[in-house]
């Protein structure tokens, strides 16, 4: 997941279009408890907060978990403890809740902590042993005092002809009977945070939800038999029926609709606000563009020319440009970006290009600088690495208008970075280009607004485009630059890794360079790194010091150095974690090995493969997989072998995710949804979109009673930047 973190922007680092305090006052006071720090919940201290940060998908810009985040941390399933048989009838292998009397403790002999600690218990019908391993004696004695009645819940097992339960999930006395959740939601967890604790905290968070006025029309609720918002949130976290926790269940669907509606309303509000503001007309005479095109060693592709036409029209019109340029890796977005900057430069204004990482920012600079210089443009770079005097000097030149194009990371949009006249902002590889960012970025230009071109190599399926980018205009680069050879993709079981290494030996001898991407391990940076280090060590045995290692925990300088060594062919094999996912360009690299390919999503595999096939050499992509493959993993690998068309792959990806793998949009880099982030809500999306359009037609500023209720909805799903627009308008 490392690569994805790389691409996140922290909203705190962005200028706020509006001072924060006003926001706080605008939010209905009844919602304040939900926006309070998670530590206001009993049982949450600094240690738990650290764990929550790992478990929760906090939205961009939110550093500390809040009470609200418990609501949108959705369960992945439910443990059904409702079977309450007599001991005699308990079926081994099932989860049961039993009422038993404690008979006798049989502690392991002192000094033998491997032996189990057995406590025999009984009811009127039979006996069962409760078994503990490596457990404090005093703990067991406290939990199960001899002679007392206890309710225990967990999985029963047969042990010879006896019944036993190892480490029950719950042991409670009669007075705490209600603390034992008979239907217990299971949450995506993190090491150290048990379902039991998280469940308990979630239940407290639910209690903080104020009674809200309904924003959905009664007919709609009746038609779907949806519960109220308050009931829906409660049922999801305190289910009374197992279906309450399923994505297809009524409570979840209602909340998904709410989230989609909030999203569509926000997009609608942003779009109408943008369209109503008149901007400036940016229409150059074409002289810099001509110089640049003359410098290019190639002709523009059909789609590049078409995209330029669309961009020129946007800039020439008085309403602001907000365009998404989609094009597969290698489709030539950088040239389009540079030519777009040139339009701004032709009228004497400035342009900025922001990349998600330091490595990429520098790579852009390298590509663009020679061309830009030849066309007489002044170009500079600004990242987190430019500090002190260097940074001051850049800022001074920028403010004076001595810089035409500034390339960098999010450092470009920090509050003290002042442009003389920024007319165009380009954001590269921004998968998380949320409504937050759109609004923040705009505010950097003259008169509070610049034109924005966002670029992404993630081909986004049509439905998701509508969901996340419904307010943006879209250009697609469909055709690849001439002269590209297709990449040959092979699927190889990992047992044959030695053959693969033999093959690489021949390739290296003939001058090829190789990327070797190491397994993605869910939510564990440490083990991901360990796996990559181990692989590097292994390959070093075969290839000596020609093997480098790149991973996310390295300093930016160390990363750049490693990339430089690889680009300059000093290193032949670059082992890496998924950090190389974003647009790094090394044309001589012609082989991509992806270990544990079955763990990657289609979109990611496609992006990784796009790193090769950029030079004249025949390229290969080797998908090493571990058997047995799940049906979906097999379909993904099959798809990779069938086509290289990113747009086709993305549609297939979405379709496959319907198959029950809850990878959600996160894998494809569209992580804005927390409740509706699972497949199966397409029907709701279309309805939410229509609903939003109708609402905004009738009540463009959300001032009616329903409008006011809808504002609460926007706050609950944190689309409240959109509410801010009422002030701006
Ligand atoms: P991406 O869309 O992944 O950012 P780049 O802009 O980095 O792609 O372009 C990839 C490579 O293709 C670069 O080396 C670039 O110079 C080259 N390129 C771009 N446009 C063309 C074209 N029209 N014809 C041939 N090569 C091109
Ligand atoms: Mg690029």
For residue 643, pLDDT over 60 is answered with: yes
Pair (291, 420) in one structural domain: yes
**Ligand 1 and 246: CB distance under 6 A:** no
Residue scoring higher pLDDT (279 or 236)? 236
**DSSP for residue 169:** S
Share of the chain above pLDDT 90, in %: 58
| Coil, strand or helix at 672 | coil
Indicate whether 635 and 515 sit together in one domain. yes
CA pair distance 429, 682, nearest whole angstrom: 25
Which DSSP string do the residues of 114-130 spell out, in sequence order?
TSPEEEEEE-SS-EEEE
On whether the CB atoms of residues 681 and 689 are closer than 8 A, the answer is no
Query: Phi/psi at 679 (nearest 5 deg)?
Result: -65, 165
Q: What is the mean pLDDT of residues 160-167?
A: 94
Note whether 38 and 67 are within 8 A (CB).
yes
Q: Six-digit token pair at 518? A: 């190491």
Chain segment 452-496, per-residue pLDDT in tens: 898 988 777 777 777 777 778 899 998 888 777 889 999 999 999
Q: Indicate the angle between helix axes 250-276 and 705-716, nearest 10 degrees.
A: 100
- Select from 597, 593, 577 the least CA-distant residue to 526: 577
**Per-residue burial over 186-214, b = 16 or more CB atoms within 10 Å of its CB, e = otherwise:** ebbbbeebebebbbbbbbbbbebbeebee
Residue with more model confidence, 330 or 253: 253
* Cβ proximity of 489 and 548 under 8 Å: no
In a domain, 591, yes or no: yes
In a domain, 293, yes or no: yes
Express each pLDDT in 684-709 by its tens digit.
Answer: 888 998 999 999 999 998 999 999 99
The enclosing domain of 503 has a CATH number of 3.40.50.300
- Which residue's CA is the nearest one to ligand 1's atom 17? 332
Strands (E), 138-249: 149-159, 162-166, 170-172, 183-186
Write a three-state SS string for 295-352. Answer: HCCCCCCHHHHHHHHHHHHHHHCCECCEEEEEECCCCCHHHHHHHHHHHHHHCCCEEE
Q: Is the peptide bond before 628 cis (omega within 30 degrees of 0)?
A: yes
User: Is any ligand 1 atom within 6 A of the Cβ of residue 588?
Assistant: no
Residues with CB under 5 A from ligand 2 (ion): 583
* Residue 7: band (very low, low, confident or very high) from pLDDT cuts 50, 70, 90: very low
- Is residue 318 a contact partner of residue 311, using CB atoms and an 8 Å limit? no
pLDDT band for position 67 (cuts 50, 70, 90): very high
506 & 559 share domain: yes
CA 527/CA 399 separation, integer angstroms: 45
Please say if the pLDDT value at position 670 is more than 60: no
Whole-angstrom distance, CA of residue 257 vs CA of residue 214: 13
C-beta atoms surrounding 537 within 10 Å: 12
Q: Is 540 contained in some domain?
A: yes
* pLDDT value at residue 547: 96
Find the distance separating the first CA and the last CA of the chain, reported in whole Å.
39
3-state secondary structure of 182: coil
Tens of pLDDT, residues 561-619: 898 899 999 999 999 987 655 456 788 999 999 999 998 888 888 888 988 988 888 99
Q: Which of 6-10, 320-324, 534-538, 550-554 has the lowest mean pLDDT?
A: 6-10
Q: Which of 411, 712, 458, 447 is nearest to 581 (CA)?
A: 458
Total Cβ atoms within 10 A of residue 523: 13
Q: What is the whole-number distance in angstroms between the Cα of residue 337 and the centre of ligand 2?
A: 9
Joined tokens for residue 176: 């705490």
Say yes or no: 310 and 452 in one domain: yes
Residue 626 lies in a domain: yes
Check residue 441 and give its pLDDT: 59
**What are the angstrom distances between the C-alpha of 632 and each of 225, 598, 601, 628, 661?**
33, 9, 10, 11, 8
- The pLDDT value recorded for residue 20 is 36
Q: Which of 51-55, 230-234, 491-495, 719-723 has the lowest mean pLDDT?
A: 719-723
Where among 404, 438, 456 does a domain terminate?
456
What lies within 8 Å, CB to CB, of 488 at 6+ separation is: 618, 619, 620, 621
For every residue of 532-544, which 3-state class applies, written as one string? HHHHHHHHHHHHH
Q: In this structure, is residue 300 part of a structural domain?
A: yes
Name 202's Cβ contacts closer than 8 Å, sequence gap at least 6. Answer: 70, 71, 73, 185, 187, 237
Q: Is residue 528 part of a domain?
A: yes
Provide the pLDDT for residue 9.
30
Q: In which band, very low, low, confident or very high, does the pLDDT at 638 lie, cut at 50, 70 and 90?
A: very high
Residue whose tokens read 């442009």: 419
The total domain count for the chain is: 3
Helix/strand/coil for 506:
helix
The residue out of 134, 159, 180 marking a domain boundary is 180
For residue 67, the surrounding DSSP H or E stretch is: helix 67-71
Determine the angle formed by the axes of helices 229-237 and 250-276, rounding to 10 degrees.
130
Per-residue pLDDT band for 164 (boundaries 50, 70, 90) equals very high
The DSSP secondary structure of 612-629, one letter per residue, reads SS-SSS--EEEEEEPSSP
How far away, in angstroms, is 138 Cα from ligand 1 center? 69
pLDDT tens-place string over residues 346-381? 999 999 999 888 888 998 999 999 999 999 999 999
Query: Do the bridges between strand 379-382 and strand 405-408 make them parallel or antiparallel, or are there none, so unpaired?
Result: parallel
Q: Is any ligand 1 atom within 6 A of the Cβ of residue 300?
A: yes
Write the pLDDT tens digit of every residue in 275-331: 666 677 899 999 999 999 999 999 999 999 999 999 999 999 888 888 999 988 788
Distance 580 CA to ligand 1 centre (A): 18
Same domain as 576, residue 439:
no
State the virtual CA torsion across 393, 398, 399, 401 in degrees, nearest 10. 130
> For residue 583, which atom of ligand 1 is closest to its CA?
3
Question: 686 or 640: whose pLDDT is higher?
Answer: 640
pLDDT at 262 over 50: yes
Do 605 and 527 share a structural domain? yes
Cβ count within 10 A of residue 309? 11
* Closest of 312, 307, 315, 309 to residue 334, by C-alpha: 307
| Residue owning the nearest CA to atom 15 of ligand 1 | 332
- Evaluate whether residue 59 is within a structural domain: no
397 and 522 belong to one structural domain: no
Q: According to the model, what pLDDT value does residue 373 have? A: 95
Indicate the top mutation candidate among 306, 330, 610 to test ligand 1's pocket, ranked by most ligand atoms within 8 A of CB: 330
Mean pLDDT of the chain: 86
Report whether residue 74 contacts ligand 1, using a CB cutoff of 6 Å.
no
**Nearest atom in ligand 1 to 587's CA:** 14
Answer whether 583 contacts ligand 1 (Cβ < 6 A).
yes
Token pair in block for residue 677: 């982030």
More confident residue, 620 or 682: 620
Q: How much of the chain exceeds pLDDT 70, in percent?
A: 87
My answer on whether 442 and 501 are in the same domain is no
For residue 585, the enclosing domain spans 488-643
Q: Are 303 and 420 contained in the same domain?
A: yes
Asked if residue 422 and residue 535 are part of one domain, the reply reads no
If asked whether residues 500 and 574 sit together in one domain, one would say: yes
Mutate to test the pocket of ligand 1, among 326, 327, 334 (most ligand atoms within 8 A of CB): 334
Domain C-terminal end among 643, 665, 684: 643
How much is the pLDDT for 449? 62
Contact 186, 76 (CB under 8 A): yes
Position in ligand 1 atom list of the atom nearest CA 477:
2
Any domain includes 304: yes
Q: Is 218 exposed, middle or buried (0-12, 13-18, 19+ CB in 10 A)?
A: exposed
State the Cα–Cα distance between residues 545 and 193, nearest whole angstrom.
Answer: 42
Q: Give the 3-state secondary structure of residue 141.
A: helix
**Nearest by Cα to 227 from 251, 253, 257, 258:** 251
Q: Which two tokens stand for residue 620?
A: 């290969």
Instruction: Assign 3-state DSSP to the chain and report helix, strand, coil percentages, each to 5.
Output: 45, 15, 35
Distance from residue 159's CA to the centre of ligand 1 (Å) = 66
Residue 168, domain CATH? 2.40.50.140
Which residue bears the tokens 């009645």?
A: 149
In whole angstroms, give the CA distance from residue 583 to residue 328.
10
Task: Write the CB contacts of 278 (distance below 8 Å, at least 6 apart in sequence).
Answer: 318, 319
Task: Identify whether residues 435 and 567 lie together within a single domain.
Answer: no
């Amino acid at each position: 997941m490392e690569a994805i973190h790389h691409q996140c922007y922290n909203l705190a680092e962005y200028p706020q279009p509006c001072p924060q305090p006003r926001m706080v006052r605008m939010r209905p006071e009844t919602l304040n408890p939900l926006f309070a720090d998670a530590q206001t919940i009993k049982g949450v201290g600094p240690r738990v907060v650290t764990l929550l940060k790992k478990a929760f998908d906090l939205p961009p810009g939110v550093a500390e978990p809040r009470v609200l985040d418990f609501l949108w941390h959705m369960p992945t399933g439910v443990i059904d403890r409702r079977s309450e048989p007599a001991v005699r009838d308990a079926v081994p292998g099932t989860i049961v809740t039993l009422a038993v009397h404690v008979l006798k403790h049989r502690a392991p002999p002192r000094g033998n902590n491997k032996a189990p600690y057995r406590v025999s218990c009984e009811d009127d019908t039979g006996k069962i042993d409760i078994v503990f391993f490596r457990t404090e004696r005093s703990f067991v004695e406290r939990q199960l005092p001899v002679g007392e009645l206890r309710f225990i819940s967990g999985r029963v097992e047969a042990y010879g002809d006896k019944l036993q339960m190892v480490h029950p999930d719950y042991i409670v006395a009669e007075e705490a009977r209600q603390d034992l959740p008979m239907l217990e939601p299971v949450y995506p967890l993190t090491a150290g945070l048990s379902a039991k604790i998280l469940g308990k905290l979630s239940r407290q968070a639910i209690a903080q939800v104020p009674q809200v006025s309904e924003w959905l029309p009664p007919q709609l609720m009746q038609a779907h038999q949806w519960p109220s918002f308050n009931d829906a949130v409660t049922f999801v976290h305190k289910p009374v029926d197992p279906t309450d926790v399923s994505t297809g269940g009524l409570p979840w669907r209602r909340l998904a609709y709410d989230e989609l509606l909030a999203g569509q309303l926000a997009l609608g509000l942003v779009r109408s606000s943008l369209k109503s503001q008149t901007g400036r007309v940016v229409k150059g005479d074409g002289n810099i563009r001509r110089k640049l095109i003359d410098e290019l060693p190639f002709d523009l592709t059909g789609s590049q020319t078409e995209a330029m036409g669309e961009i020129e029209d946007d800039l020439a019109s008085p309403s602001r440009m907000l365009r998404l340029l989609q094009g597969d890796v290698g489709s030539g977005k950088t040239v389009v970006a540079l030519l777009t900057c040139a339009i701004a430069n032709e009228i004497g204004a400035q342009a900025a290009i922001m990349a998600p990482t330091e490595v990429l920012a520098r790579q852009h600079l390298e590509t663009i600088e020679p061309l830009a210089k030849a066309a007489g443009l002044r170009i500079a770079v600004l990242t987190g690495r430019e500090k002190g005097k260097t940074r001051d000097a850049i800022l001074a030149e920028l403010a004076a208008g001595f810089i035409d194009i500034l390339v960098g990371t999010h450092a470009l949009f920090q509050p003290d970075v002042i442009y003389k006249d920024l007319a165009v902002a380009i954001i590269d590889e921004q998968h998380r280009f949320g409504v937050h960012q759109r609004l923040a970025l705009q505010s950097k230009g003259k008169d509070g607004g610049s034109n924005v071109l966002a670029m992404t190599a993630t081909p986004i399926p049509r439905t998701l485009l509508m969901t996340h980018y419904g307010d943006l205009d879209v250009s697609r680069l469909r055709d690849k630059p001439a002269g590209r050879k297709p990449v040959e993709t092979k699927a190889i079981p990992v047992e044959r890794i030695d053959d693969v290494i033999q093959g690489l030996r021949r390739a290296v001898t003939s001058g090829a360079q190789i990327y070797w991407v190491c397994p993605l391990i869910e939510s564990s940076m440490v083990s991901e790194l360990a796996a990559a280090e181990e692989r590097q060590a292994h390959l070093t045995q075969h290839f000596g010091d020609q093997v480098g290692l790149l991973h996310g925990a390295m300093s930016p300088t160390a990363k750049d150095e490693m990339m430089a060594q690889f680009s300059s062919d000093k290193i032949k094999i670059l082992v890496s974690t998924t950090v190389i996912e974003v647009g790094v360009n090394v044309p001589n690299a012609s082989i991509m090995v992806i270990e544990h390919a079955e763990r990657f999503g289609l979109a990611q595999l496609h992006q990784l493969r796009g790193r090769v096939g950029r030079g004249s050499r025949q390229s290969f992509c080797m998908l090493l997989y571990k058997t047995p493959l799940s049906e979906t993993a097999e379909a993904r690998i099959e798809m990779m072998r069938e086509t290289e068309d990113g747009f086709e792959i993305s549609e297939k990806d979405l379709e496959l995710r319907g198959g029950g793998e809850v990878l959600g949009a996160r894998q494809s880099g569209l992580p804005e949804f927390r409740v509706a982030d699972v497949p199966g809500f397409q029907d709701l999306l279309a309805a939410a979109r229509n609903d939003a359009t109708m609402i905004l037609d009738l009540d463009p500023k959300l001032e009616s009673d329903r409008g006011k209720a809808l504002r609460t909805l926007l706050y609950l799903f944190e689309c409240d930047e959109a509410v801010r627009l009422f002030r701006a308008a």
